[in-house]
Amino acid sequence: FPVAPEKEKEDLQFAKKYLESFYDFKEEKTLFRAKDLNQMSDKIREMQSFFGLEVTGELNHKTLDIMKQPRCGVPDVRSYS
* Nearer CB in complex with another protein: 27/54: 54
Q: How far is the CB of 29 from another protein (least distance, A)?
A: 22
Q: How far is the CB of 30 from another protein (least distance, A)?
A: 26
Q: Give residues in contact with another protein (CB under 8 A).
A: 1-3, 21-22, 50-52, 62, 65-66, 69-76, 78-81
Q: How far is the CB of 9 from another protein (least distance, A)?
A: 19
* Nearer CB in complex with another protein: 9/78: 78
* Nearer CB in complex with another protein: 18/40: 18
The string of DSSP letters for 29-68 reads --S-HHHHHHHHHHHHHHHHHHTT----SS--HHHHHHHT
Q: What is the DSSP-derived secondary structure letter of residue 73? A: S
Instruction: Tell me the C-alpha distance between 20 and 62, whole Å.
Output: 19
Its sign, for the CA torsion 15, 68, 56, 49, is positive
